Amino acid sequence: MMQRIAVMTSGGDAPGMNPAIRAVVRTAVSKGVEVYGVRQAFAGLLAGDFERMTSRDVSGIMQRGGTILQTARNQEFTTPQGQKRALRRLNEHGIEGLIVIGGDGSLRGAQALHELGFPVVGVPGSIDNDIWGTNMSIGVDTALNTILDAVDKLRDTASSHERCFLLEVMGRNCGYLATMGGILGGAEFIVIPERPTTLEEIGRILEDAYMRGKSHAMGIVAEGANLKTHEIAEYLENHEVGFEVRVTVLGHVVRGGKPSAFDRLLATRMGVAAVEHLLAGDTGVMVGLHGRDIGTVTLVEATTKQRSTSESYIEMADMLSK
């Protein structure tokens, strides 16, 4: 059995990464395996920035957002030369297996190490919920709760002034957060990368809502949608749809905050499962939530298959917005 493993967080941080690190460290320690934390993701891997982690080092981090190991986006690691250097660093430190917690780019990095013959297990951590092979990624639930909190607050001021608020949320290629925010926050429309929309269409929806007597309106726009928030606002202001328009961009606020109970549990289960798979030699895989269970898919599938927001949720958002 492996004697020494490492864990890292990579890509955009997501609430729940700390509970995942905690679960990895404590599961490994309980099985008599040494754990090293890699600081600052692949940059730390290339620099050999490893630190021994004991059970005490992960005390009191369950409720903390962000990641105590820090994270980064690293270009150098994408080159074959960079990947070989990373492998060398792992070997120099006697590390026999690695757990990578992160989004699609990070899992591609994990897959590259796996292809070089290094035992790796991936854990999906990204607020976007754009990773194939898991129903939910770590951080999504907390991010969604933050969005709903903002929607609820904006609604108070929107209805007091008869305004339409455009709320921009994260989601570069995936409109999951905007769609669910739309359904659960009761938005009049959503604008998401999966379904290109026109300015005229949005104008019609709002005019209709105004004429039917709604006291306010809300549109949730994913940052990666075909229309940009400011151009929608400009169009609406110039076309007198009835409501005055205001814009709120949530930005990185959505990535912060203490992980929800759901994310703590998901991260904990995934962290435990990742260590179990790694030690059992079941590597080159990503753990994922399949129904109620934690299962695995290969890293190849997780990084090559496209995940986008389910059509039925998009239809639901439209149907319930009227």
Catalytic positions: 128
Q: Does 131 bind ligand F6P (CB under 6 A)?
A: no
What is each CA distance from 122 to 188, 192, 220, 315, in whole angstroms?
37, 27, 31, 32
Long-range (24+ apart) CB contacts under 8 A made by 237-244 are: 239/203, 241/164, 241/203, 241/206, 241/207, 241/210, 242/206, 242/207, 242/209, 242/210, 242/211, 243/162, 243/163, 243/164, 243/206, 243/209, 243/210, 243/216, 243/217, 244/161, 244/162, 244/163, 244/164
Q: How far is the CB of 166 from ligand F6P (least distance, A)?
A: 17
Q: Does 128 bind ligand F6P (CB under 6 A)?
A: yes
Q: Does 171 bind ligand F6P (CB under 6 A)?
A: yes
Among residues 15, 16, 82, 103, the one that binds ligand F6P under rule CB under 6 A: 103
Nearer to ligand F6P, 103 or 284 (CB): 103
Structure tokens at 16: 């729940």
Among residues 71, 83, 126, 260, the one that binds ligand F6P under rule CB under 6 A: 126
Q: CB under 6 A: which stretch of 122-130, 160-168, 242-250, 296-304 binds ligand F6P? A: 122-130
Q: Does 170 bind ligand F6P (CB under 6 A)?
A: yes
Among residues 89, 108, 216, 255, the one that binds ligand F6P under rule CB under 6 A: 255
- Site residues for ligand F6P, 222-241, by CB under 6 A, read 223
Nearer to ligand F6P, 2 or 249 (CB): 249
Nearer to ligand F6P, 126 or 179 (CB): 126
Q: How far is the CB of 170 from ligand F6P (least distance, A)?
A: 3
Q: How many residues does the chain have?
A: 322
d(CA 56, CA 30): 13
Q: Does 15 bind ligand F6P (CB under 6 A)?
A: no
